[in-house]
Amino acid sequence: MEPEKQKPTPLPQEEETSFWRDIVRFTLIAVCIVLPIRIFIIQPFIVSGSSMYPTFETGDYLIVDEIGYRLHEPVRGEVVIFKYPNDPSKFFIKRIIGLPGETLQSVNGTVVVKDAAGNEQTLKESYLREPPKDTFSITLTSDEYFVMGDNRAASLDSRIWGALPRHFIVGRAWTRLFPLSELSVWPGRAAQ
């Protein structure tokens, strides 16, 4: 009968090499999964400023859906995050009020939308605390949106810098994670 062979005990250096190889492998796999999700599908956004009050306040932590608008076009009433057309390094959050091809008129804060066929509707903006008393008129081209903050008195929006070209829109507010008392999916969504 042959004596039982003993397995050689690994050298400490081999154990350490195996440990670091596993760490590198895990890190690469994590980066390959997380990075594309973060770049192409969702991204975080922290609200800064009072332009969307009372719907959103400074410090609200949102997750932005970046893929939805690759499947369908933005809809009136949705809250969008976009690159500010006058400085694309800055990101803004506003509500879509006007869609491509529409004419918008506001008299004393009441917004009337006319589509290409001539049909009119007056917007019922229940998310506003104090409707502004502003007056404007604009006709949008086939790739422009009109966006405004819910706190119209404190909002730098399409009334000031003009229509928002479609290619500046990054995505829509998908989830509010913070504050926890306001945790919600599709926060701020309003049907029109």
Find all residues with CB under 8 Å of 192, minimum gap 6, and list them: 76, 77, 121, 123, 124
Contact in structure between 183 and 65 (CB atoms under 8 Å): no
Contact in structure between 110 and 122 (CB atoms under 8 Å): yes
Catalytic-labelled residue, pool 51, 106, 155, 158: 51
Find all residues with CB under 8 Å of 124, minimum gap 6, and list them: 192
Contact in structure between 34 and 44 (CB atoms under 8 Å): no
Catalytic-labelled residue, pool 18, 94, 114, 184: 94
Round to whole Å and give the CA distance between 134 and 114.
18
What's phi and psi for 149, nearest 5 deg? -80, 155
94 counts as catalytic: yes
Q: For residue 43, give the nearest of 12, 68, 73 by alpha carbon.
A: 68
What's phi and psi for 160, nearest 5 deg? -100, -50
Contact in structure between 98 and 138 (CB atoms under 8 Å): yes
Question: Could you list the active site residues?
Answer: 51, 94
